[in-house]
Structure 1
């Protein structure tokens, strides 16, 4: 099978959508498929293009068996709402010619667009119809909802227009998948039929991320001992995470609970501001993005993990870091409204508290820090969920089977993509043209 994926994020970026795009493509290659990718240069989460990639535009390069073509884009140093629109528009513009060339000359069987960026997805579905390919949109993030709900864009008329455009793009694809059941429900609210939608979770390699000793090189480097409690946030540091709430909780607990320490590991446009807020407080530690070969140690360093979240972001995304947290057999404190997808995932494997409430975060941190047996119980349950719901090999295999029409009708439907092609609107005899 020939697969052409179009998405703004790809390796060597280490986190976010790039990681899953690359792992999906490499897994499809390992299963014997031919895969090509049209993407942008790496820039995330630092929002800066490395100089080594500025001379490689429109040149195809083989990366782990995947033919990757990169196109130039505008990358804002400070990504405001309008600048993000221009950023995504630039990729839609520069990727158009390579998409047309690959589709017409190579004739893929399946064309996959990944949102973000939704702007570039419109061309993918249009071209797929012209060349007889199956079109597939995978939604990692509801960009329009997030931009307005988080205050990055505010014009009500612009929102109505963008939602109409989004709905038209969604309906133009043969199949649309997203990463949680709550996001599936949002797709249906936006007008998609159930037989066109599917859940494809972001996954984790449960052999690479596994339970480990708390006494890691990170504790040694920070001079933290066995009696110190560590609350860890690992990931992007941007507006929607609400990480200032973690800083507020750390400051509130510094004197009364000096043995509780906070590690924030990652990069992003808000990191400098967070460092300024935490300046002078010895219980807050910042790290950069950690390499893959150290990531399991980083996850094991924590006694529990933190997923702060603004209320406005509920069910716009399901944080992909949750799979790694569960796989590491550590509990999590998540900010989420009851009834949201994130709350459902975390219940009984951690604590769920109201979003935006730093006082509730302080109380939850104190509760877990004083209850090692509860931490162990939540950690064991999380590990079970990682194996059941987030395993990379299982999810990617089901996605591959659905695209090729090889799914079986008796497979489970609550883990990753529906096991049977027919269950997501892909009749076995009509799922994908033969290569």
Structure 2
């Protein structure tokens, strides 16, 4: 197959959607397919262009994938309106490169990744110009997530326009995929026929079983003296609700056996540090390299996955896959019955979003009940193997891609 991938985020961004877009493109290339990517310049999660990527359009070949990286507006303070401009800048920046690539490369399939949905119509048009099939993969329902996290007022004219735009764009594509059963069910509710929907999960990026008897090197590097660590690692932004971690740390400050570690970067980091004050049982650490991710995750006794209530079925945090793969229980904030709550069932504890008392109690329960910890840890490793395997996931999606292009595969030839 000849596949053109369009996505705002791509390597070398170390976390989030970029990891999966790059992983998919490189795996497709490994399997003998010809892959080209049109993406934005790397900026996430710092919301600052990575050094060496300033300037205009640039095309390189990396790991057998040809990548055109396009200049974009990156706001230092990404509020609702600035994010809209950010996404619009990507759509405008890719318009010529993607059209030219579609006409010269003649792909069989154009795969658009959302976010950014703003670029999806251009990807769809490129597919039409190339007489290719179109596929939209939804990592986040951007509009509803913006409502849930307060970035957009759901009653504003902009919000109503954005909701209509989202539904219309999604309906254009020959195939639409998303990363969880609940997000796929949402597509059905939006009017997308079930036979056009594919579940395409993210995958665990580390080996499912770690040598748990070996202590993490971060214990020494960060001078962690307590036997237990409650770890949050990832982006620090609106939808995470990380203030619950601060509140839980304050509630458990009299326990001398737990250190809370927040390891990450993002637009809310400065405020979070200020709110934490001089808490003695809490450490802030910068985002760590992908190469050291297994060692970082092994530091945790329990992983922390806070999330705002209204975002539970609109996004499925990509960090969950590696949390489970590390063989550690998870404490998440998710209403029972939501997709996130179901994903961690028997691998951790889901508590009411925003309820720091319940969140702290769940952390204590897992630390104090060793038998429960062992059971959930084993279940987490097993789930990572059976549900979040990279090669099996991509193989299934490749089969769906081949199926969708088959009816018109070079009929014009």
Same fold per superposition (TM over 0.5): yes
Instruction: Report the counterpart of residue 180 of structure 2 in structure 1.
Output: 180
User: Per-residue CA shift, 1:381-425, capped at 9, x if unaligned?
Assistant: 0111111110111111111122123xxxxxxxxxxxxxxxxxxxx
Question: 1:222-371, aligned counterparts within 5 Å?
Answer: 222-225=222-225, 228-255=227-254, 257-371=255-369
Instruction: Report the counterpart of residue 139 of structure 1 in structure 2.
Output: 138
Question: 1:52-131, aligned counterparts within 5 Å?
Answer: 52-55=52-55, 57-131=56-130
CA distance in 2, matches of 1:61, 1:218: 35
Runs of 4+ residues over 4 Å off in structure 1: 431-435
Distance 1:433 1:343, change over 3 A: farther
Measured after TM superposition, the shift of residue 328 of structure 1 is 0.8
CA distance in 1, matches of 2:315, 2:33: 29
Instruction: Report the counterpart of residue 169 of structure 1 in structure 2.
Output: 169
Distance 1:23 1:429, change over 3 A: closer
1:153 is paired with a residue whose SS is coil
Instruction: Report the counterpart of residue 31 of structure 2 in structure 1.
Output: 31
CA distance in 2, matches of 1:245, 1:262: 12
2:265 is paired with a residue whose SS is coil
CA distance in 2, matches of 1:127, 1:38: 12
Measured after TM superposition, the shift of residue 172 of structure 1 is 0.5
CA distance in 2, matches of 1:211, 1:17: 28
CA distance in 1, matches of 2:209, 2:408: 34
1:110 and 1:432 in contact (8 A); partners too: no
Instruction: Report the counterpart of residue 204 of structure 1 in structure 2.
Output: 204
Structure 2 unaligned regions, length at least 5 = none
Structure 1 unaligned regions, length at least 5 = 406-425
2:176 and 2:197 in contact (8 A); partners too: yes
User: Per-residue CA shift, 1:282-331, capped at 9, x if unaligned?
Assistant: 21111111112211011111011010011121211011111111111100
2:231 is paired with a residue whose SS is strand
Instruction: Report the counterpart of residue 51 of structure 2 in structure 1.
Output: 51
2:354 is paired with a residue whose SS is coil
Measured after TM superposition, the shift of residue 187 of structure 1 is 1.0
Measured after TM superposition, the shift of residue 214 of structure 1 is 5.8
CA distance in 1, matches of 2:384, 2:127: 35
1:109 and 1:432 in contact (8 A); partners too: yes
CA distance in 1, matches of 2:113, 2:176: 10
Q: How many residues align?
A: 411
CA distance in 1, matches of 2:114, 2:28: 19
CA distance in 2, matches of 1:99, 1:351: 44
CA RMSD of aligned residues (A): 1.6
CA distance in 2, matches of 1:181, 1:207: 24
CA distance in 2, matches of 1:397, 1:432: 20
1:208 and 1:296 in contact (8 A); partners too: no
Distance 1:432 1:205, change over 3 A: farther
2:208 and 2:325 in contact (8 A); partners too: no
Distance 1:233 1:74, change over 3 A: same
CA distance in 2, matches of 1:371, 1:432: 57
Measured after TM superposition, the shift of residue 160 of structure 1 is 2.1
